Chain A
Amino acid sequence: MTEPLDPNPVNGELAVREYFDSKTRRYLKRVITPELIEEHRCGPHAQHRSEPLGRLMFYLKNLPIDQQYALRLMPNGAYRITSIPKPGEPPVEVDGTDYPDPSAGLHGIFLRKINDLMGRQDG
């Protein structure tokens, strides 16, 4: 007789990913510098030539969707950072900062994601 199985099992892969991501974050925390942030500010769309920024961008782009952000176009033409909406729920504005154009807003999201990253406890 086997034990009854949970019809809604927890995905064991989550723990494996967290192990991988924490290793990545430990590396990224060491390479985030004012120069790297400036490299992104100068060209959020551009080819990222430096390896540290490239690796950081890969990590940030591949975050789970509930850790991502969006830019919301406001009626006054400015852009604000919000959470990604969930089905049946509107997006949540993360702060009241107005960004004048998409590039500035994308850099704002970049800074916010770095802040999130630095706040993670990775040993």
Chain B
Amino acid sequence: MAEQKIFGYTDRLSVKQGDRLNIYVNCDGSDFADAQLVRLIHGDNNTEAGPGYIEREIPHPANGNWPVKKQFTQLGNYLTVEDPDQHLKLDGTLSMGAFIWPSMPKRGARQTIMGRWDTLTNEGFALGINPDGYLEFWVGDGKEVDYITSEMPLIKHVWYLVGVSFDAMTRTVTLYQEGVLNRYNSLIGTTTPYDFASHVRTRFRFSQHNRADVPFLIAGARDHHELRGNFVGDLYAGKIDRPFISERILTREEMDTVKAGHKPPADGLMAYWDTAAGYTDDGIGHDVVETGPYRLKTRGVNHPVRGMTGWNWNGKNDCFRLAPHEFGGIEFHPDAVTDCGWAVTKTIEIPSDLKAGPYAIRLRVGPGCGIAEEYVVFFVRQAKPTAKLCFLVPTASYLAYGNETLAFDAQIVQPMTGQPPIISDVEIETYEHREYGLSTYNHFEDGAGVCFSSWKRPIINMRPKFRNSWMGAPWQFPADLSVTAWIEHCGYDCDFITDDDLHREGLAALKPYNCVISGTHPEYVSERMLDAQEDYVAQGGRLIYTGGNGYYWCVNFDPEEAAVMEVRKLDSGMRAWAAKPGEHYLQTCGTKSGLWRNRGRAPQKLVGVGMISEGFETCTPFRRMPDSWHRTVSWITEGIEGELIGDEGLAYGGAAGIEIDRYDLALGTPPHTKIIASSGGHTDNYVLATEEILYAYAGMVGSLDYRIRADMIYYTSWNDGAVFSSGSIAFGQALPAKGFEGTTSKLLRNVVDAFLKDGPLPGRQWTLEEKQWR
């Protein structure tokens, strides 16, 4: 019997009461799964310091036995070309060419750059790279395959013009390979004495035979599996810029004119993809403009990366908006996936009276635990908001970390976290099979950083009970369930909206609420999300940031595919990878990515604090600071005995730690901000964030640097608006400790109770006579 395992996802993360939700399930080893709608109360199964895992089964017509089946995922980037009239079904003479920048030439597997090739039947023609890393052109007639191979191996991360001319009359075939590296565009410079060029000619035994149903593809080739059906294999890794195909022989001299930067000859040209066309100031879509006589509609699959530096990039311009023609590179990765594309398993209706909050369809097969249990998570939102409190679910950050495998791949993780990882069966399973895509903390197999993440795939760490392996505690969604459990415990009427709701609807999504509360680590924020929260506070809203290292990365949701978020990591910041020079701008909107701090919007400007350090393996309490006794803010600590706050918690026993934020007037903390409490004296595993460092020197660690601390702050804004920030990821995970009655919980309850009331905030009466300044 096959091993039983089950995975799933939804078409949306946010669904309103009364709406319908599609659920997609892949199952091995069973034809049926036991399905149960559950409300997720608490996600951390730590019973020593907290309440343990809590879910509540909800009656629903969809509960019961669901028929499930094996579903397959198409991995990899490639371009599809719609060619209904089969213009590219060239049965005779042809030429093809493209600028390429291979990232894994010696992959040990065949890679197709472009062609019309059927791997199952060996029919058609294609230009590609053989498993040993040499340029190759091949034709097949359904019985045999003939090849012509370059004499010089392709060097990774170097730009080439490659091409082929095939004379069907004489069956003479000529391969063209020339390096086009300049001072900027490739990994190595012009002084490295590699021999890039190769020109080979031979005579084939036969010409290609083309099947009518085989598609012309760029960066992949048609394959077939008995159970799966047709799919795309022989995927290419690297960049392709301005590929073309002609129905006549192109001479060496004509190819040289292409190498010099001219378009391929119009005579005989069947298709020419101007990969740098169609760019706008607001970004680049997924259609690639084909400018030949037939204008063939061409589209990327699984988000090939656009706007990348092209073969002719000369280093002067750093953005595709400034000189589009130098940014024609499209980067392909064989292990990318942004939509599993499975058939719908079930559509469920969300009851109109279902209380807003975090839910899941719990699916079980066989033993019903480990990889035989899945929670397909979604968030229910009030159809018409009636609550005064709203939890802003940081789904952009969930996506960023979705399926991260740092514990397995990143050497840097153990030095960062100070401890070996604690791994679970579900991580081992998904890491071994790698079907469900990566996080923005991963590198693709070819070494490039992952800049897209999507919810249209199973996300194994966006589940209750999941413990982050490299930190040994819940992270993101399961950690945020400690905040929502606290909301539930306190009995607050609370609505739930997601980052993608906020990105789409802007300020209007926040307007109905007196108070908005964040998750533990809302690190990834789009401009629209940031604008909305800034305007919300300035117009009288009250924002509670219960986390650390928030409002950090500039991201965007894809306007063509709402499930997909984009980020580019660059320049500075605590980051898993660094985008290459010239590739720092978001293709989905045209603005620069990286840190908000480096775009003039440091987190301090909105939430008063911003990232200063991370250390993970220990936490501490906060200590009250002198400001907290000021009568404008003393109400925040009312009922708390002593000077320590948060000497408890599910994340290493304290409310201050994991990743922590600091008050900093030089980065835009509002000057009247009060520091309620602060930590400090963290272990030396807490190091200064890289964006703080101009000159590095010894001692930028927790026990030696006063800046390494979590600051808990409060400030007031216009129209009775206000912000409270905890400055620490561990704060949220401290809320359930001591039966939800610890000092962290008492303090936050003071804040929420005050923030929910209409009218002036407590302490407001003192602001005029005492002023707000120290």
Contacts and interface: CB of A to CB of B under 8 A. Distances in A.
A97 B425 CA distance: 18
B617 A71 contact: no
A63 B420 CA distance: 11
Contact of A71 (B423, B433, B683): B423
Interface stretch (A12-20, A29-37, A81-89, A115-123): A81-89
A89 B432 contact: yes
A71 B133 contact: no
A46 B434 CA distance: 35
Interface stretch (B49-57, B321-329, B388-396, B407-415): B407-415
Contact of B423 (A64, A70, A87, A88): A70
A87 B410 CA distance: 12
A4 B652 CA distance: 56
B576 to A, nearest CB: 14
A57 B683 CA distance: 14
Contacts of A58: 415
Nearest to B154: A7
Contacts of A61: 414-415, 418
A72 B424 CA distance: 6
A47 B683 CA distance: 5
B420 A88 contact: no
A109 B423 CA distance: 14
A111 interface: no
Contact of B422 (A79, A85, A86): A79
A75 interface: yes
B266 interface: no
A45 B469 contact: no
A65 B405 CA distance: 13
A83 B94 CA distance: 52
B419 interface: yes
A94 interface: no
Given A71-B420, A75-B370, A85 B192 contact: no
Contacts of A75: 369-370, 425
A68 B420 contact: yes
A2 B196 CA distance: 13
A73 B684 contact: no
B408 A84 contact: yes
A70 B445 CA distance: 22
A58 B415 CA distance: 7
Nearest to A67: B411
A47 B422 contact: no
A45 B20 CA distance: 47
Contacts of B121: none
A47 B421 contact: no
A16 to B, nearest CB: 17
User: A7, A63, A68, A85: which has the most chain B beta carbons within 10 Å?
Assistant: A7
A47 B703 contact: yes
A102 B407 CA distance: 16
A26 B43 CA distance: 46
A4 B195 CA distance: 7
User: B105, B193, B369, B703: which has the most chain A beta carbons within 10 Å?
Assistant: B193
Given A5-B193, A70-B407, A45 B419 contact: yes
Nearest to A88: B432
B617 A64 contact: no
Nearest to A113: B420
Interface string B458-483: 00000000000100100000000000
A52 interface: no
Contacts of B431: 85, 87
B421 A102 contact: no
B423 A82 contact: yes
B422 A102 contact: yes
B500 to A, nearest CB: 30
Interface string A35-60: 00000000011110000001001100
A85 B432 contact: yes
B428 A73 contact: no
B192 A5 contact: yes
A75 B367 CA distance: 12
Contacts of A72: 422-424, 428
B194 interface: yes
Contacts of B618: 45-47
A70 B432 contact: no
B460 to A, nearest CB: 14
B445 A87 contact: yes
B155 to A, nearest CB: 5
B153 interface: yes
B193 A90 contact: no
A91 B106 CA distance: 26
A91 B422 contact: no
B428 A85 contact: yes
Given A2-B193, A5-B192, A68 B414 contact: yes
A109 B420 contact: yes
A32 B703 CA distance: 24
A5 B154 CA distance: 12
B701 to A, nearest CB: 10
A11 interface: no
B428 A45 contact: no
A96 B155 CA distance: 45
Nearest to A79: B422
A47 to B, nearest CB: 4
Nearest to A110: B420
Nearest to A58: B415
Nearest to A108: B420
User: A44, A54, A73: which has the most chain B beta carbons within 10 Å?
Assistant: A73
A5 B194 contact: yes
A122 to B, nearest CB: 21
A106 B422 CA distance: 9
A82 B425 CA distance: 12
B422 A73 contact: yes
Contacts of A105: 422
Contacts of A84: 407-408, 421
A63 B431 CA distance: 22
Nearest to B411: A65
A70 B153 contact: no
Given A2-B193, A85-B431, A70 B411 contact: no
A90 B432 contact: yes
Contact of B408 (A5, A47, A85): A85
Contacts of B445: 87
A89 B156 CA distance: 26
Contacts of A70: 407, 420-423, 469
A73 B415 contact: no
Nearest to A109: B420
Contacts of B133: 7-8
A90 B617 CA distance: 26
27 contacts: A4-B195, A5-B193, A5-B194, A5-B195, A44-B419, A45-B419, A47-B618, A47-B703, A54-B684, A61-B414, A62-B415, A65-B410, A72-B428, A73-B423, A73-B424, A75-B425, A79-B422, A84-B407, A84-B421, A85-B432, A87-B408, A87-B409, A88-B434, A90-B428, A105-B422, A106-B419, A109-B420
Given A8-B133, A68-B420, 13 more contacts: A2-B193, A47-B618, A57-B418, A62-B414, A65-B409, A68-B414, A70-B421, A71-B423, A79-B422, A85-B428, A86-B408, A87-B434, A89-B432
Shortest beta-carbon contacts, A-B, top 6:
A47-B683, A7-B153, A2-B193, A71-B422, A61-B415, A65-B411
